[in-house]
A = this chain, B = another copy of it.
Amino acid sequence: MSKSKVQPKIMPGFMELLPEDQIAFNKMYDTIRSVYERYGFLPLDTPVIELSEVLLAKAGGETEKQIYRFQKGDSDVSLRFDLTVPLARYVAQHAGDLAFPFKRYQMSKVFRGERPQKGRFREFYQCDIDVIGQDSLDIVYDAEMPAVIYNVFKELAFGAFTIRMNNRKVLNGYFAELGYTEVIGDILRTIDKLEKIGREAVTEELEKFGVTAADAERILTFLSLRGTNDEVIEALRAQDIANELYKQGVEELAEVVSYLRGFGVEERAFIIDLTIARGLDYYTGTVFETMLNDYPSMGSVCSGGRYDNLAEYYTDQKLPGIGISIGLTRLFYQLKENGLIPAGSGCVARCLVIPMGGEQLSAALTAASAIRSAGISADVYCQSKGMKQKMKYAAKIGVPYAAIIGEDEAAQGTVMLKDMATGEQRAVAIAELADAVRV
C-alpha cells in the first residue's frame, strides 16, 4: 500500500459483519420484528441524535459517563444510549396523538462509549417492545411480554430457553418485613455469587450488611424456593410475611401465571425465580430474564419489566408501562462464538445465472427475470471472464444454484441447473426455473 493511503479500519467495540453473517443477523432481526408485529406493536423510529438536556433529564452516574455527547453549532447533543428514554420523550411529546395503551416496538442502534472488551459493544441494536398505559395498565399486559418472548425464541430456534420471572414487590415487601430495605441491593448482589462462592461465604458477606446469620439462612431458603409455578405461588402465600406490598406482589405473580396459559406459553419454558431483580431503581413490579438452557454463560438474552411511571421527567401524566429488550448485537456475537451461526449459510440470491459468453447474456437476463417474477432473488454474472472464474464466483458467494446458459441452452430456452452443494446438474426449462430453485 502506498504511504499516502489511509488505513481502512473501524473502531474497536463496533460490530461490522461480512455479508454472510449480515444475512444471518438480518434474519434474526426480521424474525423478531415479525413476532413483535404479530402482537400488534406499532413501529417507532426516533432520532439517533437528541438534545442532551432532553435525553439526560434523568441519567446520571455510570450511564452519563458513557454517553457520546458533543456540541454542534449552538446545540449540546447526545447519541441515544437506550430506546426507553426516547420512548418516554416521545410519549410525553405526542400523548395527544396516541391511543393508550400505546404498544410500540423499536429495533435500532444505541450508543455507549464503554471501555471496549470482548462481547461488549459501543454501538449495538436493542429490540424493544413496551406497552404504556395512561394512569393505569392492566396486569394482563405483564403476561403478554413472556408470550412475545416465548414466540420470538421459539422462532429463532436456538434451542430450549427459560423465561424467569419475579416481582419486585415480592422482594421489596419481603426485605421490608425483615428490616433490610436499605440493603436490598447489597443482599441481592451477594446472593448472586451463591453458585460461585458457596453458601458459607455468602452468609459471611451478608453479615457485613447487618444481616444476622439466622436471617441469612431464612433469606437464602426463601430466594431458592423452587417448584412448579403453582407450587412456588402456594409457598409464597404460605410465608409468614404480613407486608402488604409482598402480598400484592405474590398475587400479581399468580395472575401473570394464570394468564400465561391463555397466551399459549408452555409451562416448562417459564419459571418463577425469586433471585431475579434487574435494575434496582427502575422496575417496580414484574421482572423478566430469559436464558438459553444450553448456554447459561450467555446470561440473560431478553430482559425487562414493569415500571410505574415512564416519563416523569417530561410530564405530569402518570404513564405506567411494561417492556422487554433484546440486545441483538451482543446476542448475535454470543451465538456466533458458540457456533450457533453456521458459516457460509447466507446468500441473498437463490440462483446465479451464468451466460457462457456475451451472446447468451440476453437469455441469462430472461432467465433471471423469470425467477424474480416469482418473488425469488436471482443474480446474473455479467463480467466477461472464463467459465472457471464464473463458477468460482458462484462458489464464493455461496449461492445454492447456478444456472448455466450456453449456445444450446439459449437456443432451447433452457438452462443447465447446477446444485452447488451436490454438484448435480440437469437441464431445466426457463418456465420451470423458479420452482426448481425455490426453497
| B-contacting 9-mer, from A97-105, A276-284, A293-301 | A97-105
CB of A70 to closest CB in B, whole Å: 3
Q: Least Cβ distance of A119 to chain B in Å?
A: 17
Q: Which of B6, B39, B137, B366 contacts A383 (CB 8 A)?
A: B137
- When the two chains form their complex, are residues A313 and B5 in contact, meaning their CB atoms are under 8 A apart? yes
Contact with B along A330-363 (1 / 0, CB 8 A): 0000000000000000011100100000000110
Q: In the assembled complex, which residues on chain B have CB atoms less than 8 Å from the CB atom of A313?
A: 5-6
The answer to whether A68 has its CB under 8 Å from any CB of chain B is yes
Indicate whether A397 reaches chain B with its CB closer than 8 angstroms: yes
State in angstroms the CA–CA spacing of A47 and B264 once bound together. Answer: 39
Contacts of A366 in B (CB 8 A): 262
A1: which B residues are within 8 A, CB to CB? 315-316
Interface residues on A, range: 35 or more
Known: A14-B47, A19-B104, A45-B16. A263 touches B376 (CB 8 A): no
Is A314 on the interface with B (CB-CB < 8 A)? yes
A415 shortest CB reach to chain B, Å: 15
Contacts of A352 in B (CB 8 A): 40
Stretch in A87-95, A228-236, A425-433 touching the partner? A87-95
Say yes or no: B47 contacts A10, CB within 8 Å. yes
Say if the beta carbon of A123 comes within 8 Å of chain B: yes
| CB <8 Å contact, A314 and B5 | yes
A361–B256 Cα distance when bound, in Å, is: 13
**Nearest B residue to A135, CB-CB:** B383
Instruction: From A48-56, A179-187, A190-198, A245-253, give the one contacting chain B.
Output: A48-56
Q: Is A378 an interface residue (CB 8 A)?
A: yes
A43 smallest CB distance to B (angstroms): 5
A128, CB-defined interface residue at 8 Å: no
Residue A144 is within 8 A (CB to CB) of chain B in the complex: yes
Nearest CB in chain B to that of A258: its residue: B362
Q: Kindly provide the distance from the CB of A121 to the nearest chain B CB, expressed in whole angstroms.
A: 10
Asked if A170 lies at the interface with its beta carbon under 8 angstroms from chain B, I say: no
**Bitwise interface map of A from 14 to 30 toward B, beta carbon under 8 Å scored 1, else 0:** 11111100110110000
Q: Is the CB of B93 within 8 A of A8?
A: yes
Q: Which residues of B contact A6 (CB under 8 A)?
A: 53-54, 57, 313-314
Binary contact readout A100-143 vs B (1 if CB under 8 angstroms, 0 otherwise): 11011000010101000000001100000000010011101100
A224 interface hit (Cβ, 8 Å): no
- Interface segment, one of A71-79, A157-165, A210-218: A71-79
CA distance A38 to B311 in the complex (A): 43
Taking the closest CB of chain B, its distance from the CB of A291, in whole angstroms, is 25
Are the C-beta atoms of A38 and B376 separated by less than 8 Å?
A: yes
- Give Cα A219–Cα B18 distance, bound, in whole angstroms: 48
Residues from chain B with a CB closer than 8 A to the CB of A316 are 1-2, 5
Does A379 have its Cβ within 8 Å of any Cβ on chain B? yes
- 7 residue pairs, one from A and one from B, having the closest CB atoms: A40-B379, A70-B70, A40-B349, A140-B382, A262-B365, A19-B42, A99-B396
Q: Can you list 9 residue pairs at the A/B interface with Cβ under 8 Å?
A: A8-B92, A11-B75, A11-B77, A19-B98, A38-B375, A41-B348, A42-B397, A140-B380, A259-B361
